[in-house]
Each structure stands twice: as structure tokens, then as C-alpha cells.
Amino acid sequence: MLYYLFEYLDKTLDVPGTGVFQYITFRSALAFLLSLLLSTIYGKRIISFLQRQQVGETVRELGLAGQNEKAGTPTMGGLIIIFATLVPVVLFSKLQNIYIVLLIVTTLWMGTIGFIDDYIKIFKKDKAGLKGIFKVFGQVGLGLIVGAVLYFSPAVTVRTDTSTSDIFRAPTETVILPGPIEEKSTATTIPFFKNNEFDYAELLAWTGEGYEKWAWLIFIPVVIFIITAVSNGANLTDGIDGLAAGTSAISVLALGIFTFVSGNIIFSNYLNIMYIPNSGEMTVFIAAFVGSLIGFLWYNSYPASVFMGDTGSLTIGGIIAVLAIAVRKEMLIPLFCGIFLVENFSVVLQVSYFKYTKKRFGEGRRIFLMSPLHHHYQKKGYHESKIVTRFWIVAIMLAILSIVTLKLR
């Protein structure tokens, strides 16, 4: 909203200084600061409200140290993240940008699913929460919307050729001269390869001429799978104080660098990466999102005053998935979301191995003392703070390696 106000003041009334709002970096900085202030200042009020409503966490007895102390801690803290993200986004971003619209829809959509799940657990006294099938329906529904918009919307284009012959730097602006055009494409990026672009449509090349028009049959299911997998991964990671929020903030920061360079014709040309027009605007959303996650950590760090609940974890996973898909870096998700992947994989391994050994030997055996993986280390006697800090360090290493893939091919 403020973007359009300052644009009017600059271009119509020529008010000095108002042109600064045209810069993504400036608006991103404001979005970060405002979200950080909102999440820390109003976060306390939201926590107090949750306490008055007796929105307390019900903790299952898992035999973990300090577990009983967490019983009754307010949950649904994801409301803090959602509130502190959306307010700066509405104020400082271009609301007509297709990527911003998709991210706002994702935030509200996944936040609603998580809220319903938490509501059933707390107020209906049903520890299972929302039935898994309904969660999956919600995730699939969002995947259909995101996939269809990215595939069919004329506002979503890419440009794989950003040769310098097409770029002219004038004293005050960058002018794109006639050359390779922006086009609809289902191309994505394969990390660590020199010629690192892959088009999902090529998987249908065997069908013959005109196969490109059926690319949505591959692209949309891929989007659905990624959104479902990443949102569930974030949900499993939210198990101890500060783990999900901290690792997510690190991953999103890495995505912020990808969105900024991919949406800038100069940087994308220099790095020889896919140029995605208008995607740079997502940097404003990412700045607000990171600010809200860091502000949430003010209350969620050990010992936590509030838990994010599914309201927060499902929202975080959905946003990260949509960001990665929109900037065509979904194949990097196993790297910069490595913590989510390992947590998810530890559960799959544990359950599969238990069922296999029970069928073969008559008794179920376990690989880990408990899954997800962070509970395994708790069982081994590690303090929560040590586990979280080490997971953060690993997440930082993975994020740096993800960023390095811009040039490491």
C-alpha cells in the first residue's frame, strides 16, 4: 500500500526523496525491521491472549528430560509469525505482483490448515488433531493453485539467455535492448552442473511433436509433491525450542539471495543464471518473513514461552516450498532444507525398519532411540540448547553451500 502511495508522490507530485521506495533493497530493509518489531512487541500480547484463552500445549509422555515442564505452554504461536509477516508485506510490497499474491495465499491457506489442526487438539481435546487425509487435501489444493498459476499465468515468465549484448547501462537506468525474449517455461535449475537448466516438458518428449503443451501434467504434480513434503518436514522439525524457527530463518535467507539475483537482469547475467522477471519482489516478503521468525525466536528460544504449533510449522514449510518453486530452485531443497529432509527421513527409516523387523523377527527393532532425529539426541542426554545450536550450525553450512552453487558448477 505504501509503495503505491510513494510511487504517486514521486511520479505525480515529484516529492523529493519518495523515489527511494522504488528500490527493493530499501523496502526489504523496512519490511525486516517492522516485522521484527511487530513480532517482539506484539508477540508478548498475543502470548498473553493465548494464555487467557488457555491455549496450552498438551505434551505426550515420551520419557524426555524436562518434557513435563512444557505442559501448558501456549501454542498457536504461528499467529505471531503470520501477523508479523503479512503486515509489512501489505505495506511495502507491490501487491499486484503475482509472486506476492501467491505467497500471501500460501501463508493464509497453510496457516488456516494449521490453525484448524491446533484448534481440534486444544479445544476438542483430540490429540490427533486434524485427520491426516484432510491435511493432505489442503496441501494438494494449495499445490494445484500454485502449480496452475505458475504454469498458466502470463505474468510468470523466464529468460534463460541474459547475454550482455541485450543490456545497456544508461546513467540512471538499465535498458534491455531487443534480443532473447521472456517466455513461458517449465525450466528449472539443476545444481552443480554447468548447463544447469532442465525443462520438465522434456520428460514428455517421447510423445512426439507438441509435447510442450502437456508439460503441466508433470509440473503441477511436482509442485504438489514439493509443497506437501516440505510442509510436513517443517512440521516434524518443530519438536524442541527454537529448532524449526531458527533453521527456517537460515534457509529463507538463502532463498532471499536467490530471489534477489534471479529477479535482477544484471546479477543474473553476471552469474549466468535464469532471469525471472518480477521475482525480485519476493525479497520484500522474505525480509518480512525472516524478521518475524527471528522475532518469534525471542519467545521460542529455550525455555520457550510459546510454541508455534501446526499454525506456524505448516505455514513455514508451505512458504519455503513456494519460494523455492517460484525461483526455480526446488532441486536445491534437499540442500538448504537439509534439516527438514533428515528429520523426515529419520521418521521414515524408523517406521519402515520397525515394521520390517517385526514382520521378519517377530519383534520391532529401532535404528534411532526415538524419531524424529532431534529426539534421538535428547534420549542420548544432550541438552535441547546444544541440539538446537548444532542443528543451526549445520543449517548455516548447508545454506552457504546452496549459495555457492550459483558459481560452483
More confident residue, 171 or 143: 143
Mind listing the pLDDT tens digit for each residue in 345-357? Answer: 999 999 999 999 9
The more confidently predicted of residues 165 and 114 is 114
Encode burial over 329-339: b for 16+ CB neighbours within 10 A, e otherwise.
Answer: bbbbbbbbbbb
CA-atom Rg of the chain in angstroms: 22
**241 marked as part of a ligand binding site:** no
Cβ contact 85:289 at 8 Å: yes
**pLDDT one-digit tens code per residue, 190-209:** 888 877 788 999 999 888 88
Q: Could you tell me which residue, 175 or 225, shows the higher pLDDT?
A: 225
pLDDT at 184: 86
pLDDT (average), residues 97-125:
94
Reported confidence tier of residue 232, pLDDT bands at 50, 70, 90: very high
Q: Is the pLDDT of residue 172 over 70?
A: no
Q: Which residue's entry shows cell 508455534?
A: 308
pLDDT of residue 170: 45
Q: Look up residue 100 and give its amino acid.
A: I
H/E segment holding residue 224? helix 216-237
Task: Tell me the pLDDT of the chain averaged across its residues.
Answer: 88
pLDDT at site 165 = 44
Which residues pair with residue 158 across a beta bridge?
183
pLDDT, position 16: 87
Residue 196 known to bind ligand: no
pLDDT given at position 15: 87
Read off the pLDDT of residues 272-312 as tens digits, 9 standing for 90 and up: 889 999 999 999 999 999 999 999 999 999 888 999 999 99
At 13-67, the pLDDT tens digits run: 888 888 888 999 999 999 999 999 999 999 999 999 888 887 766 655 555 655 6
Secondary structure of 124-146 in HEC code, one letter for each residue: CCCCCCCCHHHHHHHHHHHHHHH
Q: Is a pLDDT exceeding 80 seen at residue 230?
A: yes
pLDDT confidence tier of residue 180, bands split at 50, 70 and 90 = low
Q: Give the C-alpha separation, 316 to 298, whole Å.
A: 17
Mean pLDDT for 226-241 is 92
Q: Given a cut of 50, is residue 176 above it in pLDDT? A: no
Q: How confident is the model at residue 141 (pLDDT cuts 50, 70, 90)?
A: very high
Is 0.95 surpassed by the pTM of this model?
Answer: no
Predicted confidence (pLDDT) at residue 73 exceeds the cutoff of 90: no
Question: Residue 168: which H helix or E strand, with range?
Answer: strand 167-169
Q: Taking the domains of the chain in order of start, what are their residue ranges? A: 2-404
| pLDDT reading at 177 higher than 50 | no
Q: For residue 390, is pLDDT > 50?
A: yes
Q: Above 50 in pLDDT, residue 371?
A: yes
Residues 6+ apart with CB under 8 A from 162: 180, 265, 268, 269, 272, 275
Instruction: Measure Cα distances from 155 to 277, 345, 355 in Å.
Output: 9, 36, 48
Q: Please compute the mean of the pLDDT values over residues 358-372 and round it to a whole number.
A: 90
Per the DSSP assignment, residues forming a β-bridge with 342 are none
pLDDT recorded at residue 173: 47
CB under 8 A, 24+ apart: contacts of 100-103: 100/281, 100/282, 100/284, 100/285, 102/145, 102/146, 102/149, 102/150, 102/322, 102/326, 103/282, 103/285, 103/319, 103/322, 103/323
Average the pLDDT over 245-252 and give the result.
96
Q: What is the pLDDT of residue 69?
A: 63
Sole residue written with cell 489442503: 138
pLDDT greater than 70 at residue 179: no
